[in-house]
Structure formats: structure tokens, C-alpha cells
Structure 1
């Protein structure tokens, strides 16, 4: 979710200062995606430029300016609520990229990479589970919002563990190790070493 839509959604409720927008955003998402005030005000400046928000009067005694939605901003957020999140573009996932490169890189112990990540992901999963166990039996609206975010992170961690198991199982069934060993030999020898190796062979053994 972009910061832009998050701020528009909050301003659809009532006018707010930048500092309150930040605190409301973090409270409702359990602090999972922290914002800084500078980021909030930079986004507000862009939204004002695009005609989606406008300041309410002047600044107060502390120099703060409250913002509210314009008609265009209200239309924008109402459209966003009903527009499915685009899944056509694949976001870059560092873990996926790391393992894809590790499988093809010479000298990398892919099984060790997978095991290290699984250990870290399981630890993260335990931490998330402990957080969920502390949830109130009678949650407020903000608690429910936080729980939804937390459960999304739980499901993602569980899915990552299953995927890592799948990666390890797939690698165990493929002759990837032999390919990596051959690549490692080529990498150690290097292109410049090939003529010297050939020259050292007896004439009858040369290709």
C-alpha cells in the first residue's frame, strides 16, 4: 500500500495535521510500516499539488497545518477502496533473488543458505505468534486492524517456510550440485588457464 492512499483514507474521516496522520497510520497498522513526519509532509505536498487535498485555514500557534480532502481526493479514495490491488507486476523479493542466484553461482552451498533462512523465518514466526497471543479478547477497531496486519505477516511467514521446504526438496531431486561443481572448476581455472592446460597434455590426448 502506498503512503498516498493511506493518507487519503485517513483524511476521508476528518481533517488532520501531518503528525496526527503519522500516528494514526502507525496505530492502525501496528507500527509495521513506520513513517516519519518528513515523508508525510512530502506526500501531502504532492497531494496538494495534484488537487487531492487542501489546507484548512492557516497554521496554528505551533505552525501546524491541517489538511482535508478535496472533491477530487474523495473521488480518488472511493475509487481506491473498490479497485483490486494490482498483482500483474511482480515485486522484487530479495530472498527469491538470492536463492535464484545461489543455485546458479559456483561455490555457493545452497542448502546452507536455505537452512539459515528457514531458521530466521521460524524465529520470526514464533515472535509473531507471541504477539498474537497477547491480543485482547475484546479488541477495539484499531486492535482488529492491527490483528489483520499481524495475521497477514503470519501467513506470509508460514508460506515462506513451506516454500523453503519446497526449494530444498526440489534441489535434492536435481543434479544441481554436479553442475555447480563443474562451474566452480571453470571459475577457478578461468579462460586464460585453458591453453596452458591443453598445452600440458600429451599430443595424443589433446582434443
Structure 2
């Protein structure tokens, strides 16, 4: 999914004229407000694929000697089709949070209220940060950046509502069937670096 989104995002950048590889990275970063890190290698790999598939084509070099590419008619048609094709549930990435809560909810030894509270606190912190950024954005800021911030804020609002629902539903069901055995509780010890996100 991420690879596909980067492909379409890069192709969209060609709509206003020819570009070279590093310019694509700079513009992608600017349009997403740096919220989606894409390394240079991924940019050039994706650019090669776009050229291979006929969505962009080389158009010479600029005054600095950079190889320039432009969108083709095929690429323009593909981009127009992408814009009007809805994203379906199967296209969306799997949610680690949804999987974590689903597993914790059916494990009677997990303190679901603690798991939800820790996530709720983090989600609210993120929402405050994005809201602060959105409030500082003004009419001169890139529309793409402000729309992405709005998407992140609305997504976190929805996530917090879902967390409230998941907690209430799980606790209500557990009230009817109390757990047996020791209860697992979260510790304040740091998680391994790989698990932190």
C-alpha cells in the first residue's frame, strides 16, 4: 500500500511540469509537510518504474545536467483515473492498533482499561500537536499540507472515539464473564526500540 501511494503521489507531482529525481523528493516532502518520509532511493526506484510503465518519459536534461522526466498521456489518464477511484477497505493498510486491541480484548488477563488509556493519552497528545500546527497554518501555507493535517486530526478524533467504544464494549462483556487467573498489566519499562512507533 505505501509503495502504491508513493507512486501515485510522485506521478501527481508531474502535473505542473517536468521534474528530476531529487526535485521530486523535495516537492513530495513539502507537499506532505514532512509527515511521510521517503528516502531518495525509493524516489529513484519509483521514478524508474513510472518510466518503465510508460507513465513518465525522459525529456532531456536541465541546465544543471539533471535528467528530466515529464508525464505522458498514458500517465495523465492513469492519474485522472486514480483521482476518481475510491479507496476501498481492502486498499487500506492493516492497523496495528486494531489488531492489538482485538487481541487484548479477548485475553481475560490483560487490563484493557490500562491498554486503552495509554493509547488514548498518546492519541490525544498527537492530536494536540497536529491541531497546534493547523492553527499556525495560514492562507499562504500549501493547501496540501493543511488538508493532510486536517486528515490526521479527524483520523485521531475517530480513533479516540473508537478507543472509548472498544473499552466500554470489552468491559461490559467482561463484567458478564469475569476473568480467571493472574491479570497482565503494562509496565513502565521501555519497549524494545523496534516495537516503538
SS in 2 for 1:163: helix
**Deviation at residue 91 of structure 1 after TM alignment:** 3.0
Task: Give the Cα–Cα distance (whole angstroms) in 2 for the partners of residues 72 and 162 of structure 1.
Answer: 42
SS in 2 for 1:12: helix
Match of 2:37 among 34, 38, 62: 34
- TM-score relative to the length of structure 1: 0.78
Aligned length: 180
Task: Give the Cα–Cα distance (whole angstroms) in 2 for the partners of residues 83 and 90 of structure 1.
Answer: 14
CA deviations 1:148-179 (Å, max 9, x no partner) are 10011001111111111111211221136845
Match for residue 162 of structure 1? 161
Task: Give the Cα–Cα distance (whole angstroms) in 2 for the partners of residues 18 and 61 of structure 1.
Answer: 13
Task: Give the Cα–Cα distance (whole angstroms) in 2 for the partners of residues 169 and 108 of structure 1.
Answer: 15
Task: Give the Cα–Cα distance (whole angstroms) in 2 for the partners of residues 75 and 32 of structure 1.
Answer: 28
Match for residue 74 of structure 1? 76
**Deviation at residue 61 of structure 1 after TM alignment:** 5.0
Over alpha carbons, which structure has the higher Rg? Answer: 1
CA deviations 1:125-170 (Å, max 9, x no partner) are 111111112112x334x2x221110011001111111111111211
Task: Give the Cα–Cα distance (whole angstroms) in 2 for the partners of residues 153 and 25 of structure 1.
Answer: 17
**2:170 is equivalent to residue 171 of structure 1:** yes
Task: Give the Cα–Cα distance (whole angstroms) in 1 for the partners of residues 76 and 64 of structure 2.
Answer: 28
Using a 3 Å threshold, how does the CA distance of structure 1 residues 76 and 89 change in structure 2: closer, same or farther?
A: closer
SS in 1 for 2:50: helix
Task: Give the Cα–Cα distance (whole angstroms) in 2 for the partners of residues 2 and 90 of structure 1.
Answer: 10
SS in 1 for 2:70: strand
Task: Give the Cα–Cα distance (whole angstroms) in 1 for the partners of residues 95 and 179 of structure 2.
Answer: 23
Instruction: Within 5 Å, give how 1:70-109 maps onto structure 2.
Output: 70-89=72-91, 91-109=93-111
Task: Give the Cα–Cα distance (whole angstroms) in 2 for the partners of residues 23 and 35 of structure 1.
Answer: 10
CA deviations 1:67-118 (Å, max 9, x no partner) are 1112211221122222222334453100110011112235221111011101
CA contact (8 A) 1:104 1:180 kept: no
Unpaired runs of 5+ in structure 1?
Answer: 186-207
RMSD over aligned CA atoms reads 2.3
Match of 2:8 among 5, 22, 41: 5
Unpaired runs of 5+ in structure 2?
Answer: 184-197
